[in-house]
Amino acid sequence: MLSRRHAILTSGAFLALAACGKSGGGASTLRVGSQKGGTKALMLASGALDGAPYKIEWSDFPAAQNLLEAIGSDAVDVGLVGDGPFQFAYQSGSPARAVAAMKATSREPGALAVIVGKTSPARSIRDLAGKRIATTRGSIGHYLVLRALAEAGLKPDAVKLTFLSPSDSKAALQTGAIEGWSTWVPYTAAALAEGARIVVDGRQFSQGVAFDVASASAVAQKRAILADFLAREAKALAWSNDHGAEYAKILSAETGLPLPVATATVRLNSRLRVPIDAPLIAQQQVILDTFRNAGEFVSPRPIKDAFAPV
């Protein structure tokens, strides 16, 4: 397995791993953004890019918002993000479009959750009223807090939302600077392994949908290689569901996550390709309405225009 990974990483004929923005890329280069524990580890572990007749220029991001900003500014061609941050970015004016979709196959606790420290007395979102909950603005974690508050009959300002990066949120929870953290895998898996506890599980509010989102220029100018990459990604997803242990080892090596945390991440984040169809788009309206009702934006853009399947 290690020799296979080494071959993938060093194959200059087909892959070029570079930092974001170093090159605009040409027609034979696809600039792919990857969140921690995301696309890059999956594609390398599965070998899905073997023989690809174009280069891949990788860029790593801590959260979807950073990745979406890079796509919107045309610094990256395509990247995978959750449905919540995509809807937030699109309604905030991003020119990016969703070109492919995937959906969770595993519905276990902890893929998306509001968590608290192990000594916290909180047992529900109501117990966090008036308290500080950290998440990233526009993230699926942000959406989860708003949905949980609405379900409990509480207003969006019933808690004190603190917008931080995942790394800063983790530190703030550990030091007691915040009382809760709304986040996703692999951050949930790592925090739970260290003793954190779930007070709101995201399964009730999220279907685990994620989108491959592409820049307008990539859709227009790199459609053929974009389509090829998405097809390879779909195969990689199917591979990962049958090779969880092997995938977890590569994920651990790529991200620095402890192997048990990487293994939990693979299990909790299992997904398969699904079509962008009318029912899927209709489900997205709930996310849009949640952000809009909380006053995050006025949502003037038709939701159907956010999708451009390749």
Q: Which residues pair with 56 in a beta bridge?
A: 30
Q: Which helix (H) or strand (E) holds 166?
A: helix 166-175
- pLDDT for the residue numbered 110: 93
Q: What confidence score (pLDDT) does residue 249 get? A: 93
Contacts of 240 (CB under 8 A, 6+ apart): 42, 45, 46, 247, 266, 270
State whether residue 79 is helix, strand or coil.
Answer: strand
Q: Please give the span between the terminal C-alpha atoms of the chain, in angstroms, as a whole number.
A: 32
The pLDDT assigned to 226 comes to 97
Which 8-state DSSP code applies to residue 47? T
Burial letters 190-228, b for 16+ CB under 10 A, else e: bbbeeebebbbbbbebbbbbbbbbbbeebbeebeebbeb
The pTM for the full model equals 0.87
The pLDDT value recorded for residue 27 is 66
Q: Which helix (H) or strand (E) element contains residue 183?
A: strand 180-184
Span 157-211, pLDDT tens digits: 999 999 999 999 999 999 999 999 999 999 999 999 999 999 999 999 999 999 9
Spatial neighbors of 203 by CB under 8 A, at least 6 apart, are 107, 108, 109, 111, 112
Q: What is the DSSP string of 243-276?
A: -HHHHHHHHHHHH---HHHHHHHHHHT-EEEE--
Of 221, 214, 207, the C-alpha closest to 308 is: 214
Q: What is the pLDDT of residue 14?
A: 32
Cα separation of 140 and 80, whole Å? 13
pLDDT for 5:
36
Q: At what angle are helices 244-255 and 223-242 packed, to 10 degrees? A: 120
Phi, psi of 70 (to 5 degrees): -65, -40
Which residues of the chain register pLDDT less than 70? 1-27
The whole-number pLDDT of residue 4 equals 35
Q: Which pLDDT belongs to residue 11?
A: 33
How far does Cα 225 stand from its chain's mean position? 22
